[in-house]
Amino acid sequence: MTSTNDEHPGIGPGLGRLEGRVAVVTGADSGIGRATARLFAREGAKVVCVDRLESGEPRVDRLIEADGGQAVFVKGDVAERSTNEAMVAMALERFGDLHVVFLNAGTGIRKRIHELSDEEWNHVIDTNLHGVYHGVRAALPHFMEAGRGNIIATASSYGIIASARYPAYSATKAAIVNLTRAMAIDYGPEIRVNCVCPGPTDTPRIRELPPRPRLLTDEQKARAGQSVPAMHRMARPEEIAYAVLFLASDESSFVTGHALVVDGGQTATATSVSS
């Protein structure tokens, strides 16, 4: 079995920052969601891991359990309301509460807008924006009744700046940034709402975007690094996960309506290189 530390060497020992909390993480079996689900569990949270696929090997909930944590897996498409209702129900039934939802599942298609089919456009909107909408709708009744809650979504640096050949993706991520602000106003002070805006991050999604091969070549990595003028490299998933952990923990108790940019300086320049 893949050892936890081999897969995510950047995750340190838990400090109990989410002790006693129950968290839902969508898109949990790969990339940023996988690292975050594992980090949340390390920090003491019980984690409901949601994904439409079971592509991680070992699956993320088993990886967490092997690490001494508690997790369950819900298989489903976040674009479906039923998946979101099922993940909240699972948190309440299995773990008896829900404190944090990290609505992270996302996808993108690299084409200019006239090249996108209606199905492709709708697929990106349904996954990225409606996935967040359904997740929030599912969690809010419990959060409002409990008088507290913490919502975190994954936007992108491409919700702040735009990227070439990424119209649906850029539109949904900008929408998530402002949806975050709108919901923070509507549901504060009891419920905090924030999003994280990762820059280029070395995950399977980035590697598999057509026409790229499964693994990035050194040249492609260098090209991705060019769009990160300060750090000259992509992020590791753990580096995004630690930002999400801050938003999920009480350490960020006065942070809401915020888009936390974790991009190695990518948005510090007006010039964006398509990664």
Ligand X SMILES: NC(=O)c1ccc[n+]([C@@H]2O[C@H](COP(=O)([O-])OP(=O)(O)OC[C@H]3O[C@@H](n4cnc5c(N)ncnc54)[C@H](O)[C@@H]3O)[C@@H](O)[C@H]2O)c1
Binding residues for ligand X, rule: CB under 6 A, are: 26-27, 29-33, 51-53, 55, 77-79, 104-107, 127, 131, 154, 156, 198, 200-201, 203-206
Report, in Å, the least distance between residue 16 CB and ligand X: 26
Q: Which of 133, 158, 166, 169 is catalytic?
A: 169
Of residues 67 and 77, the one with the C-beta less far from ligand X = 77
Q: What is the 3-state secondary structure (H, E, C) of the chain?
A: CCCHHHHCCCCCCCCCCCCCCEEEEECCCCHHHHHHHHHHHHCCCEEEEEECCCCCCCCHHHHHHHCCCEEEEEECCCCCHHHHHHHHHHHHHHHCCCCEEEECCCCCCCCCHHHCCHHHHHHHHHHHHHHHHHHHHHHHHHHHHHCCEEEEEECCHHHCCCCCCCHHHHHHHHHHHHHHHHHHHHHCCCEEEEEEEECCECCHHHHHCCCCCCCCCHHHHHHHHHCCCCCCCCECHHHHHHHHHHHHCHHHCCCCCEEEEECCCHHHCCCCCCC
From residue 103, alpha-carbon distances to 106, 163, 197, 261 in Å are: 9, 22, 13, 16
List CB contacts of 16: < 8 A, sequence separation 6 or more.
Answer: 43, 44
Question: Nearer Cβ to ligand X, position 68 or 129?
Answer: 129
Q: Is 169 a catalytic residue?
A: yes
Q: Return d(Cα 185, Cα 8) in angstroms, integer.
A: 35
Beta carbon of residue 117, minimum distance to ligand X (angstroms, whole number) = 17
CB of 56 to ligand X, least distance (A): 7
Q: Which two three-digit tokens encode residue 126?
A: 């349904």
Distance CA 107, CA 169 (A): 7
Q: Which is nearer to ligand X, 95 or 166 (CB)?
A: 166
Residue 218 Cβ, how far from ligand X at the closest point, in Å?
Answer: 17
> Which residue number, 145 or 218, has a Cβ lying nearer to ligand X?
218
Smallest gap from Cβ 135 to ligand X, in A, equals 10
The residue among 52 and 221 lying less far from ligand X, judged by its C-beta, is: 52
> Of 24 and 206, which has the nearer Cβ to ligand X?
206
Closest approach, Cβ 183 to ligand X, in A, equals 17
Catalytically annotated residues: 169
